[in-house]
A = this chain, B = another copy of it.
Amino acid sequence: MPYQVLTLNEAQNVTLTCYLYEKSPEYPNLDKRPAVLVLPGGGYAMCSDREAEPVALGFAAEGFHAFVLRYTLKSVKPWPAPLEDYENAMEYILAHAEEWGIDKERIAVAGFSAGGHLAACAACIAEHKPRAAIIAYGALTEKTVALCGKDIPLPVDIVDENTCPCFVFGTRTDNVAPIRNTLAFTGKLDECGISFESHVYSYGPHGFGTGTPAYNQPPITRRAARWLKDSAEWLGEVWGERTFEGYSEPKFGRRTTGDLDAYLSLSCTYPHLLKQKGAAEAVLQPVFARIDAVLKPRLTEGVLNVICTWTMHDLLPLLGYSEKELSDLDERLKVIKNAR
């Protein structure tokens, strides 16, 4: 583990602590590992130790390279200094990806409280976006973000269709970053069609970090301590799981449907495709006809209302399309620009 503390900005006391796995001929296919960049919390007034090393080591134990970014505090320089620190850290990591054995396409952030605000901003508007974001009891809505500083972005307002997949959690009884932060943010992810997972645990204090008893004075539900292992498992779903031979297939894409992609595909929903003109119409006409002729007469209005919101991937198997027909159709759609 070539551990090191790098100074990214001496004047602003910005450091990047690196917890890197040694490469080994014993596991050649793991030479490029995924990585997690940890962003501790503390209202941008401090960087909490409890949300730094213990978290990094938690992800290290799950097989990730881990980093902790101690960013510029607001007493030193206001926003967007922390986001600039994030960009610098990502640039540094990407520049050393080969040397350190990091898979550039599999770098996530994990941010806590104010660090969760920073993680959400990185997920939504950074130049070097992470490929997934883990957001713990984040400051994501107006009143809580106001505690972190003035004139800084509201995460709930900047989520869009290009936001990366997110794993978002908090406790119901958090009295510093009330759970509506998490609820409002997941609502926006859903509206924008971004893949996510979220957990609201029944009770526990703000700032519980890894959730292990050793670091937590007040009572907290046992389930809260599961987020780290769960989020690591979720990263395996987003990116494919590491196996001895390499990565398995991802379990889902960044978005749930293709309605916002650049080109059409069977991942688009039926109502979205109905609105397409030109080349798309020609390809899809026989499909629509078959839906009208075969499916609509057979189904009740209620069921039709449901399945008519589905992607073609979900819908067409009901019509008896074969695997081959489906993949042919998909090929033909994938060269047609999506008129959003």
Interface of A with B (CB < 8 Å)? Answer: 1, 3, 17, 19, 21-22, 24-27, 30, 43, 48-50, 53-54, 57-58, 60-63, 143, 146-148, 172-173, 175-176, 178-180, 183-184, 186-187, 190, 195-203, 212-217, 219, 221-223, 230, 233-234, 237, 241-245, 251-252, 256, 302-303, 305-306, 309-311, 314
The reply to whether A217 and B200 form a contact with Cβ atoms under 8 Å apart is no
Contacts of A217 in B (CB 8 A): 244-245
Sample of 19 A–B contacts (CB below 8 Å): A1-B19, A21-B53, A25-B49, A57-B60, A63-B212, A146-B302, A147-B302, A147-B303, A172-B190, A176-B306, A179-B190, A183-B187, A184-B187, A187-B187, A196-B200, A197-B200, A203-B252, A213-B244, A223-B234
The reply to whether B202 and A199 form a contact with Cβ atoms under 8 Å apart is no
In the complex, what's the smallest C-beta–C-beta distance from A24 to chain B, in angstroms?
4
Contacts of A200 in B (CB 8 A): 186, 196-199
The reply to whether B172 and A197 form a contact with Cβ atoms under 8 Å apart is yes
Give the secondary structure class of A's interface. Answer: mixed
A19 to B3, CA, bound (A): 9
Contacts of A24 in B (CB 8 A): 49-50, 53
A326 to B18, CA, bound (A): 47
The reply to whether B196 and A199 form a contact with Cβ atoms under 8 Å apart is no
The reply to whether B252 and A173 form a contact with Cβ atoms under 8 Å apart is yes
| Contact for A213 among B180, B201, B241, CB less than 8 A | B241
In the complex, what's the smallest C-beta–C-beta distance from A181 to chain B, in angstroms?
10
A22 to B49, CA, bound (A): 9
Contacts of A19 in B (CB 8 A): 1
Interface centre among A25, A53, A215 (most CB of B within 10 A): A215
Residue of B nearest to A17 (CB): B1
The reply to whether B202 and A251 form a contact with Cβ atoms under 8 Å apart is yes
| Contact for A3 among B1, B147, B196, CB less than 8 A | B1
The reply to whether A53 and B198 form a contact with Cβ atoms under 8 Å apart is no
Contacts of A187 in B (CB 8 A): 180, 183-184, 187
The reply to whether A61 and B57 form a contact with Cβ atoms under 8 Å apart is yes
Residue of B nearest to A23 (CB): B49
Contacts of A201 in B (CB 8 A): 197
The reply to whether A234 and B49 form a contact with Cβ atoms under 8 Å apart is no
| Contact for A202 among B148, B234, B241, CB less than 8 A | B234
In the complex, what's the smallest C-beta–C-beta distance from A165 to chain B, in angstroms?
9
The reply to whether B175 and A314 form a contact with Cβ atoms under 8 Å apart is yes
Given the known interface contacts A24-B49, A26-B49, A195-B202, the answer about A1 and B57 at a Cβ–Cβ threshold of 8 Å is yes
Contacts of A49 in B (CB 8 A): 22, 24-27
Contacts of A302 in B (CB 8 A): 43, 146-148
Contacts of A63 in B (CB 8 A): 54, 212, 214
